[in-house]
Amino acid sequence: RKEVEQDPGPFNVPEGATVAFNCTYSNSASQSFFWYRQDCRKEPKLLMSIYSSGNEDGRFTAQLNRASQYISLLIRDSKLSDSATYLCVVSTDKLIFGTGTRLQVFP
Amino acid sequence: NAGVTQTPKFRILKIGQSMTLQCTQDMNHNYMYWYRQDPGMGLKLIYYSVGAGITDKGEVPNGYNVSRSTTEDFPLRLELAAPSQTSVYFCASSSDRAPQPQHFGDGTRLSIL
């Protein structure tokens, strides 16, 4: 089993839609969780950190379920500029990156 | 505010050649990391450093070497380039060990032919 697993997608959604991604992790000792965004051929950039059960930042909501060992990212009112690959990242003593979920928002 | 700077941005090498990927950061971060990202794959940690003079292996260190003589610089050395090392290489830094989020450089796209 991979340490961090994500559905690669792509998720194709219209502007204004709500879309959710899930990510599962295998190490129950994982302490911190992040969502990064990576545009095509660019470096990853931190989108959100999750230190407790979840948090919200504008149109983005991240949630953590420790019992089931998954985290989620919800994007409301999708914009064209949200098109990117979203990386789930889990931390024990180092960061473990998922392979990413690709989102394509169309007009 | 430069952040993490990587050079070169692109490079093509022949099999067996050697080169050094440069990485420097101006945020006075103690922790620095080298990752590689193959197409459709997650980032894999090659080497990391917790401070000047201290380096350690990550998940995929074979074929690479690093040094950390200063806080700012963390070069990655390929001694005998192989086609399997064709990848995008990202350098990152952080002010504390994980879970502190990391700042990434723009990446170096390396092709071994």
Say if residues A26 and A69 touch (Cβ distance below 8 Å).
yes
A87 contacts B101? CB cut-off 8 A: no
Beta pairing class for B108-112 and B10-13: parallel
pLDDT of residue A70: 92
Please, are residues B18 and B81 in contact by the beta-carbon 8 Å criterion? yes
Query: Is residue A4 less than 8 Å (CB to CB) from chain B?
Result: yes
Q: State the pLDDT at residue B98.
A: 57
Q: What angle do CA B111, B93, A100 make, to 5 degrees?
A: 60
- How many other CB atoms are found less than 10 A from the CB of residue A67? 7
Helix (H, G, I), strand (E, B) or coil at A96: strand
Weakest mean pLDDT among A30-34, A83-87, B3-7, B58-62: A30-34
In chain B, what residues touch A43 (CB-CB under 8 Å)? 90, 104-107
pLDDT of residue A12: 97
Q: Do A94 and B48 touch (CB under 8 A)?
A: yes
Which chain A residues touch B40 with a CB distance below 8 Å? 8, 99
> Which segments of A1-107 are extended strands (E)?
4-6, 11-14, 19-25, 32-38, 45-50, 54-57, 60-65, 70-75, 84-91, 95-97, 101-106
Nearest residue of B to residue A5, measured between CA atoms:
B42
Q: What is the pLDDT of residues A28-82, one digit of tens each?
A: 888 889 999 999 889 999 999 887 778 899 999 999 999 999 999 999 999 999 9
Tokens encoding A13: 């959604």
CA A74 to centroid of chain Cα atoms: 8
